[in-house]
Structures are given as structure tokens and as C-alpha cells.
Amino acid sequence: MANAFNGDEDVLDEPGKLLNRRRTAVLAPSYRLFYRRPVNVARAEGVWLYDSDGNEYLDAYNNVPVVGHSHPHVQRAVSEQLGVFNTHTRYLTEPLIAYSERLLALFPRPLSKVTYTCTGSEAVDLALRIARYQTGAQGIICTSHAYHGTTAAAAQISPSLGPNNEIGPNVVLVDAPDLYRESPDLAGAAFAERVRAAITTLEERGVGLAGMIVDSVLSSDGVQSDPAGFLAPAARAVRDAGGLWIADEVQSGFGRLGTGWWGFSRHRLEPDLVVLGKPMGNGIPIAAVIGTDEAMNRFGRDIRYFNTFGGNPVSIAAAAAVLDVIESDDLIAHADTVGQRLLAGLNELATRHAILGDVRGSGLFIAAEFITDPQSRAPNAPAASNIVNELRERRILISATGASENILKIRPPLPFQVEHADHLLATLDEVLTAEAGQVVDVKSNPPKTEEK
């Protein structure tokens, strides 16, 4: 995993060593910590996390708290509902219906039904079941470094989980567009051609095409965002072959891209199924599958599906509060404004730092790709890892993504302000200068705490 802690306790203080040993003793080894020197998070507020010593860290990475960590409106909504009732969806309850009406109004009209789950992984699993039942086929296409979840079915379409994670026998992988190395004008057509080849492969295997699932910003494939519309030819190829287009909006949804509520809308698509997750409840577990009548009705009529905690009133209260804040604070337009500031600043840094090869993204989902040199454009994973860790030392939290783990993924909570963007840019400039050869001892010269 990119920039994972390697287990070297020498970088930890004594309380950190003790806590890490206790953690290792009780948690399965599948768990990973971020950074060469892990952060002991004690609390969080807005776009800031605080460690056990009270030091603050700018969060430039976490999309789950979409309206900010510990948002008071979400807190109040959850607390109040906990004091009223919390049960399953087999009773008539007003909050569930009212939220569903409000949520569906944010989608194109054909997307008119919702089923709730607790996690995005469960929602992906359900979407695959629906697509397979609706089409009578089993084959699924996904991108070659995708991440879609952790259930058995979702993991089979998540090649980014590593070489020991088995891809399903009815799954075909296709390379996502590489919009730094391919012609943007031709990338959409080339991607569609790879999808058509995958459809042929599934037919030759005798399993047929049930559908294709795509993260609408191709996050794990390196954040491939522009030109808007490049996914449309692939979607047409899937539909022409009788398959369903499944838009994974767990990372790109809820206004993050600054151009509307959902990432698929940038590509002028109307999916058959849409998967929602992580930011939906600002950290309270809630996720969903949104679908057309045609895609949802047959499965819902013929097969029992009940998720005990999916759509429970407390999670619904959190989800409704998230919509309240996004709308009242105009966070979609805000994401566009601050995102443009970040893109402009990163492009300016790229003119002065040769290892910063490409900058791309939309709204507050931005990638900065690091290379060995401008001529070869070869991925530079060691530089990206070092930059992530040096930013952590300067108390800015971020991570890397992509098949080569050479791409900085900038994906902060949506209340991220212009001054936060400027602080990130200035600090990244310092780190890139140090990466070019200047030595900066951040341990003997720790950063000053910034005023919020």
C-alpha cells in the first residue's frame, strides 16, 4: 500500500510505541497505518485533525467527512434521532421516505428507486447482483486498477487490492485512460475499443455481459477526469451489448467535483445503477444503490433483500444533515472555486519543479503526478512517497494513488478554504525544493501551529 507504515518503531515516541504494540496485539495484520511516522489522532474538527499532543494537521485527503469533521449540524441530527427511535425499514417511518424523495430529486428522472445498505462495499455487491439478475449474464468489466470494495464480490472487481487479491473468473479488466500519456481527443474512443474487446472476451467465455462498473473519477486509476465526456463512448458500447452501466459515486459524489452532485453527470451519462457510500453520512455508516425502474423492479420483486441496519433512522438523519450543509453552505460551487485555485497553484509549481509532471482533476478531487523526467514521463513512486511523508512532517495529511503509486491524491473535506489551499501549495513548494536537493530538518525545526 502506498506510504504505509513499515513497522519501524524507532520513529515513534514512547506512548506511540506502546499504543502501536497494543494495536498489533489485537488487530489482524490486514490493518495498515499511514505514513513512515504514524499520526496518533485524538480529535478532529472541520478540516483539521489533532494529535494526542494537541498539534493540528490540515486534512487534504479524507472524503468521508464531506462537510467537515465533527460537524455540529450532523452531530445534533444524529443525537436527536437517537433519542427518538432507531429501527429497521420494515415499519412505515417518515424520515426514510422524506430523505429518499429528497435524494432521488438530485438524480436524472430515470433513476427513481433507492435501496439502502450500510457501506459502499455492500452497495457495490448489491448492484452486481441486480445487474446479473436483470441481464441473465454474469460478466463484469472494470478498470485495471479499480477499487470498489471489500465484500467477496466487490473484492473480485478491485484489482488495486494487490496481486494476491483474486479477480473473479467472470471479470475482465480494461486499462483506464491515461490522460497524461494518451491524446485526450482519442482517449475516449480508445477506451471504448478496449471495452468492446472485453465484451467479446466475456462472450467467448460463455458468461455474457451483465455490466461495467466505473468510478466516475477513476480515482484508483490515477484520477482521470478530463476531457469531460470521455466515458460516454464506453457506456454506449456496454449498453449496445445489453449490459448495465454502474456508476460508482462513492468517491466522486456529493458535489466533490464542483460541477454538480454526481461525477457521472460530467460525462453526460445516465447510468442504470449508481452506488453511493462513504461521504453520504459524514462518517455515519450509510450507503445506497440508486437505479432505474427497469434495473431495480425485477430483482426487487423476485428476490428478498433486507439489510437490518441499512437506512436506519439515525443514519438517515446524518445523511439528511449532510444534504442540508452542502446546500446551505453552497459547497458544490465552493469546491469548484477552491479547486480551481489548487489547480492553478499546482500548475505554477509544475513550471518550477520538473518532477511534477501533470496536474489534473475537478473541484476538490485533484491529482499531482510525479515523474522521473519530462522526456520519459516515467512514474516516480519514491518521490511521491517521500513527498507524502514530508508533508505529514509539516502537518499536512495526504496520500498517493495510481497503479505506480506516483500520484498525489488531493481530496479534502469540502469546507477546505482558499487559505488552506494556499497553505498546502506553499508547503508543497517547500517539500519539492527539498526533494530537489535542499536539506530541511523538520524534526529540529517543527512547523508552527497555524491559526484556523
> What pLDDT digit, counting tens, does each position of 193-206 carry?
999 999 999 999 99
pLDDT of residue 437: 66
pLDDT of residue 340: 98
pLDDT of residue 104: 98
For the chain, give every residue range classified as CATH 3.40.640.10. 72-328
The CATH number assigned to the domain with range 72-328 reads 3.40.640.10
Q: Output the CA torsion 152→158→163→166 (10° steps).
A: 30
pLDDT of residue 1: 61
Long-range CB contacts (within 8 A, 24+) of 379-387: 379/404, 379/405, 379/406, 380/355, 380/406, 381/2, 381/405, 381/406, 383/355, 383/435, 384/2, 384/408, 385/2, 385/3, 386/435, 387/428, 387/431, 387/432, 387/435
CA angle 61, 5, 394 (to 5 degrees): 50
- Is the separation of the CB atoms in 323 and 414 below 8 Å? no
pTM for this prediction:
0.93
9-69+330-435, superfamily in CATH?
Aspartate Aminotransferase, domain 1 (3.90.1150.10)
Cβ-count burial of 337 within 10 angstroms (0-12 exposed, 13-18 middle, 19+ buried)? middle
pLDDT of residue 3: 76
For the chain, give every residue range classified as CATH 3.90.1150.10. 9-69+330-435
pLDDT of residue 451: 35
pLDDT of residue 452: 31
pLDDT of residue 439: 36
* Cα–Cα nearest to 52, from 7, 2, 14: 14
- Regions of the chain where pLDDT drops below 50: 438-452
Rounded to the nearest angstrom, the gap between the alpha carbon of residue 317 and the centroid of all alpha carbons in its chain is 22
pLDDT of residue 193: 98
